[in-house]
Structure 1
């Protein structure tokens, strides 16, 4: 089951970590004595360490996957074809050994009156295959405003506000919600609520905005929240036609980078001059700033990537844990940019919607996480070596590895 859900190298422990990380099981479920006993026995057979108490909230042992809540999560995450394959491979009738004393006792009792059997016709269900997809960068606060939703609207509310026609598959979404506007930074409770929806949180400041002292303090305090997975977006944006603003952006970036936490991904916003769609100058300038402050092993996401093969080579040579995230911009890429897309190593490729931006079709009011497959389709067509499904599954794994 772990391999079916998370990939061929996944282990039962990986599956436990995945369920705990995204809080797929509601808190408060209690274990019965018989369940604890079964998990204890399985742990000893498999050679796993046995905790004092098996805990569903902590997912503190692979044996907890035996619990029916864990099994339900796994079954819901797999497409019907995979479930059918698992049934045909592993399902078998296990003969029951009944002690002779029990047989004698039952036989000596008076047989009960026969009960008429009712034939129940169950409706046939046509399950659509489920594809896991990871939107590595979108703005919940800005999308709320675009759709005129409540300031507390959830990602589920957003999805309902942007209905899509039925497809041949169902997207099981997760991803990263990016907050880069100080006026709409989330509270600790907001962050917890998003985790329950399978979305991680990143805190940053858009380079077009220079933080005031109180805003800077709020930003630094949020960075210390353990659940904040991303530092950003931060960076430089040369679409602003003011050399003085470019200088202030670089000074702000330099002052913020020392505060990144060891577990956080550095999410960079890099935009070049308006007449330079590849942003080559800006990517190299930001590279010079970042390498002054960031260790070689730092995990980095180049958000909304639009650069060239040279940019990819330079960043990976210095920072091998750099990931390149493609948005709806990819639909309008030049030949130079399309060649860059093909050159991105498969294990460093990400997708994002950057919602509410980069409208994928006039039929929708704005972009949204569950429209990520539109970007995946363009990437599949450009690369030529991956199907739509493979692009989504690959970038889902990459997103989980990065964050």
Structure 2
């Protein structure tokens, strides 16, 4: 803040105050600077450290990791398989680069020792076409991580032209051996009823791409305060038109009742 005053040829006050603002330097408040710096990735942070020396009379704090609780031996932890997680969205939420890893995410989190598990495998779900992994990215993903690619029903708002491009991109990536599933796709009636017909159109564009050697990952959400019978049976109606009963299906976050469940399993027993 003192340097900013000198840069603008403004006298450095003996004490900076926000109220009243007695210097242009207080426009850059330390809280704002902290929030901005927290959003920088490691490469950007390194750039600023290298190109902006510490002011005279001050010392740079060394990065210190908080002491971690002793971890139990890996063989003592229960084994776990994460069947549905969003690698792209989690990297963004953790302010990590797009080519970050699952381990980078775990390193940014704090998990009590008694809740830690030994992750033996996972399925990374990419249903936002703008963050689909490239072929090069698929190759370097961990061996025990499989990939699902789809178009979330909430993306039905894209123009027809954009959808055509995204579906083509999806089709080209589905043949990659790393991709074990297509999805998530489906219907979401938690949004405005005006969007429902567009979701059906998008669904019918993608269902012909489903093959029996790929698991189908479905997203199906009801209207608010509704048990979901209507939307589940509507989705089931379209699936029966395009898929064989032997299709493997992962219907995640199921909120329907027992009747819907039994009817669904009659049609697709490998759900």
- When normalised by structure 1's length, the TM-score is 0.46
User: 126-135 vs 210-219, which deviates more?
Assistant: 126-135
Aligned match of 1:150:
97
* Displaced runs of 4 or more, over 6 A: none
Match of 1:163, SS state, is: coil
Conserved? CA contact 1:179–1:204, under 8 Å? yes
Unaligned stretches of 5+ residues in structure 2: 1-71
Shift of 1:200: 0.4
Q: Mapping of 1:49-88 within 5 angstroms?
A: none
Shift of 1:269: 0.3
Q: Mapping of 1:311-330 within 5 angstroms?
A: 311-322=260-271
CA distance in 2, matches of 1:270, 1:314: 15
CA distance in 1, matches of 2:90, 2:73: 33
CA distance in 1, matches of 2:107, 2:116: 17
Aligned match of 1:225:
176
Query: In the alignment, which of 131, 145, 149 is matched to residue 78 of structure 2?
Result: 131
Q: Deviation per CA, 1:346-399, whole angstroms, max 9, x where unpaired?
A: xxxxxxxxxxxxxxxxxxxxxxxxxxxxxxxxxxxxxxxxxxxxxxxxxxxxxx
CA pair 165-238 structure 1, distance change in 2 beyond 3 A? same
CA distance in 2, matches of 1:127, 1:281: 45
Q: Mapping of 1:310-349 within 5 angstroms?
A: 310-322=259-271
Query: In the alignment, which of 281, 299, 306 is matched to residue 248 of structure 2?
Result: 299
Conserved? CA contact 2:80–2:117, under 8 Å? no
Match of 1:311, SS state, is: helix
CA distance in 2, matches of 1:127, 1:225: 32
Aligned match of 2:155:
209
Aligned match of 1:265:
215
Conserved? CA contact 1:181–1:206, under 8 Å? yes
Aligned match of 2:32:
none
Aligned match of 2:234:
285
Conserved? CA contact 1:128–1:170, under 8 Å? no
Q: Deviation per CA, 1:272-326, whole angstroms, max 9, x where unpaired?
A: 10121x322111110111111010100001011111111210111111100xxxx
Shift of 1:192: 2.3
Aligned match of 1:182:
129
Aligned match of 1:32:
none
CA distance in 1, matches of 2:205, 2:221: 20
Shift of 1:193: 2.2
Conserved? CA contact 1:264–1:299, under 8 Å? yes
Shift of 1:127: 6.8
Conserved? CA contact 1:128–1:168, under 8 Å? no
Query: In the alignment, which of 237, 252, 257 is matched to residue 308 of structure 1?
Result: 257
Q: Deviation per CA, 1:30-73, whole angstroms, max 9, x where unpaired?
A: xxxxxxxxxxxxxxxxxxxxxxxxxxxxxxxxxxxxxxxxxxxx
Aligned CA RMSD, in angstroms, stands at: 1.8
CA pair 294-127 structure 1, distance change in 2 beyond 3 A? closer
Aligned match of 1:199:
145
CA distance in 1, matches of 2:76, 2:197: 50
CA pair 126-135 structure 1, distance change in 2 beyond 3 A? closer
CA pair 167-237 structure 1, distance change in 2 beyond 3 A? same
CA distance in 2, matches of 1:280, 1:168: 35
Shift of 1:126: 6.6
Conserved? CA contact 2:186–2:220, under 8 Å? yes
Conserved? CA contact 2:181–2:217, under 8 Å? yes
Shift of 1:177: 0.3
Aligned match of 1:349:
none
CA distance in 1, matches of 2:134, 2:86: 15
Q: Mapping of 1:230-245 within 5 angstroms?
A: 230-243=181-194, 245=195
Unaligned stretches of 5+ residues in structure 1: 1-124, 323-403
